[in-house]
Amino acid sequence: MASVRSISTRPFEGQKPGTSGLRKRVAVFKQEHYTENFVQGIFTAMPAPGPQGATVVVGGDGRPSSASAPGNGIAKFIIGQDGILSTPAASAVIRKREADGGIILTASHNAGGPENDFGIKYNTRNGWTRARGRHRRHLRGHAHYFRVGTQRFEGFEVEVIDPVADYVELIKTIFDFELIKSFRTEHADFKLLFDGLNGVTGPYGRRIFVEELGFPETLVARTPDPNLIYAHKLVERVEKEKIDLGAASDGDGDRNMIISHDWFVTPSDSVALIAEYAEQAIPYFKGGLKGLARSMPTSCAIDLVAKAKNLEAFEVPTGWKFFGNLMDAGRLSICGEESFGTGSDHIREKDGIWAVLAWLNIIAFANKGKPGASVRSIMSEFHHKYGRNYFTRYDYEEVESEGANKMMERLRGLAQEGGENEVVGQTFHGYKVAKIDDFEYHDPIDHSVSKKQGVRVIFEDTSRVIFRLSGTGSHGATVRIYIERYDRKELDLDAQVALKPLVDGALEISKLEAFTGRKVPTVIT
Ligand code: G6P
Ligand code: ZN
């Protein structure tokens, strides 16, 4: 039962959170009081009035962890049963129950297990990750979390909740469940396959797709990260079984991937398509959209939709946290990132199940007007209307930090006045460089400035190549190169073919091989 002890911890190197909280090898977390020290940092950094009397939500993807909860005068902990809460569900719980913040124990899509990664994310009501590691004395208390109900301890209480209920209640107010249900009964041959039923999204997926919407239960092996490489089992099944809508989500349920047996929807296209249909098809958006947004490396497809609908479009740095301020200010409804994150202002996180439901809702809606509308026909119609933003990303994982940093420093130098002469005006594989810069974001709401968010090379025909280092890798550096080309006429090319000259140009401009020794990327998405 409850034991409250005072423990003093020591400072640790490298507890500064990355793109999405703290992510390290499990062995690092196993150092004595490492986790407690970081969690203490979260509480110490809580905005005024601080942790005194606060309510904090705790959940995760069920990876083994030994986190104990520091005291700090916190009045209440709300915990998902068995320690389970998907990242989007935690955000829903924080907002519904007006908690002050939430701690999610997960390394998201990074591989789990003793040899691999563990992580801690901290979210406030508007989604910002503010945690900073600090040396502090703190208390701890032990509570069990396998039975729903409230337990009282000296000075604080712990409420264990059904991890699915709040989320399902919210999601049912967003989408047209009746329309999806009638579409399913009228199209008995429509095949949905959702990969994630074994992960933390399992209980959510089952409750929503199977119990609420009546789709048959279909299980495939759990996917570590939803992309074409890591979700290969899903991709194989989707092709072999002629699946109409295949979807995957990651370990903590915030990412998604949308495919069909004859099409792969890039995340950049997915968010643009959802924005295109939202007001007509999805009840939550019937009152109109407030604005649209994407992260900088995400393709510009959604900008075209914003322009057509006369909406504000924002370009923010990589990291979901940048969308929160815009949402709180009532200027943003739908946003997404090329890194398989899509979502809206219903919560302050990206939301994998939300994206799958958005697609189901849109397919059901499109079939009312045009029977037989499929993922492919819907995307193709979109490309005919707006043109196609071909997009690919090359990842070079676990590169030696020194070479990667030097490569980025050189690119930054080129992006500065004077340096640009080396590339601006030059032609690489048929593409002439118009501009090079180092992306800087000026938050229009709180006026904070985020510098060094990625080097952009923009060509005369609006094609772009972008270079940045990942903020979510747990060791070494991950170099990401994002390549985009807009085409109004040729709409059915293979993306890798369409982008090959630009990829070669990017490698030449960056001298990647010379700096990193890498000839080929680890992952292409
Ligand atoms: C996490 C963040 C996203 C980000 C992604 C990739 O999922 O929540 O906002 O786009 O990681 O980040 P990275 O720094 O590794 O490119
Ligand atoms: Zn995740």
Instruction: Let me know: does 295 contact 322? Beta carbons within 8 Å.
Output: yes
- 279 falls in which pLDDT band (50, 70, 90)? very high
**Does 177 lie in the same domain as 312?**
yes
Residue of higher predicted confidence among 15 and 186: 186
Secondary structure letter of residue 393 according to DSSP:
E
CA angle 174, 92, 448 (to 5 degrees): 105
Average pLDDT over residues 384-407: 96
Q: Is 387 in the pocket of ligand 1 (CB under 6 A)?
A: no
Ligand closest to the CA atom of residue 248 = 2
CA of 249 to the centre of ligand 2 (A): 8
3-class secondary-structure state, position 180: helix
Is there a single domain that holds both residue 146 and residue 13? yes
Residues 409 and 467 in one domain: yes
Residue 62, domain CATH: 3.40.120.10
Lowest-pLDDT choice from 244-253, 287-296, 323-332, 442-451: 244-253
**Which candidate, 321, 350, 295, places its Cα nearest to that of 466?**
295
Q: Which of 320, 351, 441 to mutate to test the pocket of ligand 1 (most atoms within 8 A of CB)?
A: 320
The more confidently predicted of residues 249 and 478 is: 478
Q: Is the CB of 339 under 6 A from ligand 1?
A: yes
**Mean predicted lDDT score pLDDT of the chain:** 84
User: Quick one: 256 and 374 in the same domain?
Assistant: yes
Residue among 82, 96, 105, 109 nearest 203 (CA): 82
pLDDT band for 81, please (50, 70, 90 cuts). confident
Say yes or no: 448 and 506 in one domain. Answer: yes
Q: How confident is the model at residue 510 (pLDDT cuts 50, 70, 90)?
A: very high
463 is catalytic: no
Please write the tens of the pLDDT for every residue from 286-309: 999 999 999 999 999 999 999 999
What pLDDT sits at residue 65? 46
Do 174 and 280 belong to one domain? yes
Residue nearest to atom 16 of ligand 1 (CA): 470
CATH number of the domain to which 512 belongs: 3.30.310.50
| pLDDT at residue 111, as a whole number | 54
Closest CA relative to residue 344, chosen from 228, 174, 516: 174
For ligand 1, atom 9: residue with the closest CA: 319
The C-alpha atoms of residue 300 and residue 1 are separated, in whole angstroms, by 54
Whether residues 178 and 147 share a domain: the answer is no
Please, where are the H alpha helices in 256-320? 267-281, 301-308
pLDDT given at position 342 = 98
- Residue 342 beta carbon below 6 angstroms from any ligand 1 atom: no
Q: Which of 327, 326, 332, 350 is nearest to 340 (CA)?
A: 350
| Residues 209 and 345 both lie in one domain | yes
Active-site entry in 20, 65, 91, 108 = 108
Position 139 pLDDT exceeds 70: no
Q: Is the pLDDT of residue 315 over 50?
A: yes
Answer whether 472 contacts ligand 1 (Cβ < 6 A).
Answer: yes
> Is the dihedral angle over the CA atoms 441, 249, 386, 435 positive or is it negative?
positive
- Residue among 43, 166, 121 nearest 319 (CA): 121
The crossing angle, in degrees rounded to 10, of helices 301-308 and 375-386 is 70
Q: Nearest CA to 140 among 153, 151, 150?
A: 153
User: pLDDT at position 66, please?
Assistant: 42
| Ligand 1 lined by 337 (C-beta under 6 Å) | yes
Overall domain count for the chain: 3
Q: How confident is the model at residue 32, as a pLDDT?
A: 64
Using the 3D structure, point to which of 333, 358, 386 is the last residue of a domain: 386
Distance in angstroms (rounded) separating the CA atoms of residues 167 and 171 = 6
End-to-end CA distance of the chain: 48
57 Cα–ligand 2 center, Å: 17
Atom of ligand 1 nearest to the CA of 350: 8
How far does residue 340's CA lie from ligand 1's centre (Å)? Answer: 9
Q: What angle do CA 10, 75, 329 make, to 5 degrees?
A: 90
Q: How far is CA 151 from CA 43, 69, 93, in A?
A: 22, 15, 19
Residue 25 in this model has a pLDDT that exceeds 60: yes
Which among 129, 163, 197 is the end of a domain? 163
341 lines ligand 1 (CB under 6 A): yes
Confidence of residue 100 (pLDDT cuts 50, 70, 90): confident
On whether both 37 and 57 belong to a single domain, the answer is yes
Q: Which of 163, 192, 210 is the last residue of a domain?
A: 163
More confident residue, 253 or 229: 253
Pocket test for ligand 1, best of 472, 479, 480 (most atoms within 8 A of CB): 472
Better-scored residue on pLDDT, 166 or 226 = 166
| Per-residue pLDDT tens digits for 172-222 | 999 999 999 999 999 988 999 888 755 677 788 888 988 899 888 765 445
Residue 8 has pLDDT above 70, yes or no: no
Residue 383 alpha carbon to ligand 1 centre in Å: 27
Q: What is the pLDDT of residues 33-80, one digit of tens each?
A: 666 666 666 666 677 667 777 788 877 766 544 445 556 677 788 888
In terms of domains, do 315 and 349 share one?
yes
| 22: containing domain | 5-163
Structural element, H or E, at residue 353: helix 352-369
User: pLDDT confidence of 137, banded at 50, 70, 90?
Assistant: very low
- Are 231 and 286 in the same domain? yes
Nearest ligand to the CA atom of 337: 1
- Position 307 scores a pLDDT of 98
Interface ipTM above 0.90: yes
Q: Is the CB of 222 under 6 A from ligand 1?
A: no
Task: Output the pLDDT for position 221.
Answer: 44
Pairing between β-strand 449-450 and β-strand 312-316 as defined by DSSP bridges: unpaired
* Same domain? 90 vs 188: no
